[in-house]
Structure 1
Amino acid sequence: MPGRVRKRSPLKTPDRPYIALGLEGSANKLGAGIIRHAPDGSTSILSNVRHTYITPPGEGFQPRDTAQHHRDWAISVINDAVRTAGISLHDIDCICYTKGPGMGAPLVSVALVARTLSLLYNKPLIGVNHCVGHIEMGRQVTGAQIQLSFGNCLDRFARVINLSNDPSPGYNIEQEAKKGKRLISLPYTTKGMDVSLSGILTSTEAYTFDKRFRADGRAREGDTEDIITPQDLCFSLQETVFAMLVEITERAMAHIGSKEVLIVGGVGCNERLQEMMGVMARERGGNVFATDERFCIDNGIMIAQAGLLSYRMGYETPLTKSTCTQRFRTDEVHVAWRA
C-alpha cells in the first residue's frame, strides 16, 4: 500500500484500542465498515453497511452511473455505519479507502469522500488494495493462515442471457446452473498457476446464437435436435471455470506446501465452488475456508481491516498521493504485517 512510512517494526498487540473506518466502492457496491483492534488482541466489527447499485436485467453498471450512485449514497451509508457502531468520527484513528483495482469513476468518487473526511476530522488516510482487503477479512473471519484468491467472468455472461442483477448476477447464475442438465464442451485454458477466461466466455456467448439454443428452454414444433438452454450454459460455464480454478489452486498448494485454501470475493459465496474446492483439499489432507455474503461480497469492513493493519505498521497515504489505480495488482502490495 504505497504511502509514507513512519516506522518499520513487526505488528504488535496494540497498546490501546484502534478504530478504523473503511470505504469500499470499486464496483457497484458502496460499503462503509468500522472495525476495532483491542489491546487484548481481539478484533470487533462495529458496523458493516452496504448499498448496491442494481441495473435492469441484461444491463451492466456503467462507470459514470455507478459513481453517481456512490455519491448519492455516501453520506447515508457512512452515517448508518457510524450510528450502528455507536461512536463518533472523532473517535476514528484512520480513514481507509479502496485505492484499486476497480472501475475508475466509482473508485475516484469514494476516494474523494475519504479525502474530505480526512481533512474535516484531521485523520490520516490509508489507501488499500481491494484484493488484499478480501484476503485479510477472510483470514480474520475464518482463521486461515495461507490463502489463494481468484475472480470470475460470470457477471458478463449473466448480462448476455438477460439474468437479473438482483441480488447479484453471480448468485442468479448459480441458481440457474442447478437446473442445468447437460455439460457442454467449453475451452479449458490453464498454464502454470494462471487461467484464461476470455476464450471460455466468448465460446459460451456464441452458444446463444446457436440454432439449438432456446432462451425459454422449450423445444419448438418439429425439433429433433437436442436443445441448449440458458440453464445448461450456466451449468457448463460454472463447472468448467471452477475446474480450472481447482486445478491451479491444487498446483499452487503443492508448490508452496500449503494445506489451506481461502476463498474470497463475491464468487466465494458460490456453494458449488466451495464443494469442488473442498473435495480437492480433503484429498490432499487440507481444508477450505470460506465466508458468508457479509464478508465475501465487497464491503467496507474488509477495507477497514486491511487498512488498520497497515496503519498500525506506520503506513499512511498522503493527500497528494491519495489517487486510485484501476489495475492495482495484489503482488504490488508490501504486506509488512505478515512478514
Structure 2
Amino acid sequence: MQEARAEVLELIPPKPRRHSELKKRIWKNKLLYLMALPGILFFILFKYVPMYGLVISLQDFKPYQGIRGSEWVGLEHFKRLFTEPDFLMILTNTLVLFGMNLLFFFPIPIILALMLNEVRIAVFKRTVQTLVYIPHFMSWVIIVSISYVMLTMDGGIINELIAYFGGEKINFLLSSEWFRPMYILQVIWREAGWGTIIYLAAIAAIDPGLYEAARIDGAGRFRQIWHITLPAIRSVIIVLLILKIGDVLELGFEHVYLLLNSMNRGVGEIIDTYVYTAGLQQGQFSYSTAIGFFKSFIGLILVMAANWLAKRMGEDGVY
C-alpha cells in the first residue's frame, strides 16, 4: 500500500515555489521594474509617507510640541468646518467650477483629437498640434498675466475692441460675473491641446480595416467617427472621466489664487485657496489638514462610485 502511494506521489509534479517563481519573474522583467522605480518612489515619498501627518487633523497641533506632544481634540476641527459660515459658499464655488470643467472642458480634447485625426496634410497637422500643446508648458502665472494684459481696462485689446465697436468697456478682472467664464476659458486654452495626446494615441490604435469596410458600405466621415472612432475610444474616455471625477474638489490652488481679489472672492474662493488662507497665513495647521482630509475622502468616494457605475455599464473601469 505504501509502495503504491509512493508511486502515485512520484507521478504528481511538485508545486512550484512561489518565492522562487516571483524572483525569476522580477529578474526577467528587471528593466521594466527599473523604469517604474522612480514613479514608485515618488508616490511612496510624496503620497504615502505624508499620510502620517493626517493625524494632526485630530489634534490641536503645535509645531514646537510636535505630533506626539500635541493635544488630541478628536473631531473638533471637522465640526468647525461644517459649521463655518463660509463653508457652504466655498463648497458651492468649488462644485460649480468643477461642473464647468466637466461640462465645457472635458469634451474639448475629445473633439480636438477627432478634428486633428481628420487632417491629412502632415505638416499642417504637426503645426496645429505644436501650437495647441505650447500653452501647457506655460505656468499659470504666465497664462493669467497674458489674460490680464488682454482684459485690463487700461489698454487691454479686448476692451479696446469693445470700445471700437461702440460698446462699453467691461472690468473683467474685478467682475464676479466674469470670474467663472474667465477661469474656464483659461483652463481650455492651457490644457485642451495637451489632453488630446491620449485620445490621439487611442485613435491611432484603431484597426484601419474598420474604416475601409465602413467606406465600402457608404459611410461618410461623420458616420465613421460616430460608429467607429467614438466606440473604439469609449473605454479611454470612461477611465479619464473617472479620474476627472476623483478631482471634484481638486481644482488647483495657483490658478484660482492668481485670479482672486476682494471683488470676486464670493464666487472664486474654493477649498484649495481657503486651505492656504487658514493653514499658512493664519497658522491653523490642524484645521487646514482636516479640510484637506475631507476633500480627499470625498474624492475617494466619488472615484469608487464612478468606477462601480462604469463596471455596471460594461466598461473596465480603473480597477
Q: TM-score with structure 2 length normalisation?
A: 0.26
Q: Which structure carries more strand by proportion?
A: 1
Q: Which structure carries more helix by proportion?
A: 2
Structure possessing the higher relative contact order (Cα contacts under 8 Å, 6 or more residues apart) = 1
